[in-house]
Amino acid sequence: MPIHLKLIARFANSAFALVCVLLAIQGLSNGKAVVTILALLYGSIFAFNLYLIEKSALVLSEEEWLKADVRKALLHWKQQRMAKEDAAGASPPDRDETQ
């Protein structure tokens, strides 16, 4: 997940969750149960969105880390193979090339 999208999603969901909590507090102080319940419901949805954003970012970062490990292992294997080919291709000076 790109960092700018992650930050926007994190701050937007945090702001919406905060607004919902403030609406719930206001609803409690005014005695409006419906407003309080809806505000808490929406607040919990935004909090769950925050949780999902963090989990997906964690999974994607682990996946990128594993991809980098695979690329590093592949490059190491290619480098070893090229070194072996170079060593096998270099003939000793006393060896006759016509045989």
Give domain status of residue 21, yes or no.
Answer: yes
Residue 54 is assigned to a structural domain of this protein: yes
As a dihedral over the C-alpha atoms of residue 79, residue 84, residue 89, residue 90, rounded to 10 degrees, the angle is: 100
The answer to whether position 74 is within a domain reads: yes
Region 9-34: mean pLDDT is: 90
In the prediction, which pLDDT does 71 show? 92
Q: Where are the alpha helices (DSSP H) in the chain?
A: 3-30, 33-89
- In a domain? residue 51: yes
Residue 15 forms part of a structural domain? yes
Cα 5 from Cα 24, distance rounded (Å): 28
71 lies in some domain? yes
How do residues 27-79 score in pLDDT, each as one tens digit? Answer: 989 888 898 999 999 999 999 998 988 888 888 888 888 888 999 999 999 99
- d(CA 67, CA 65) in angstroms, rounded, equals 5
99 assigned to some structural domain = no
Q: Give me the domain span that covers residue 10.
A: 3-86
How many distinct structural domains can be found in the chain? 1
Rounded Cα distance, 56 and 9, in Å: 12
In a domain, 94, yes or no: no
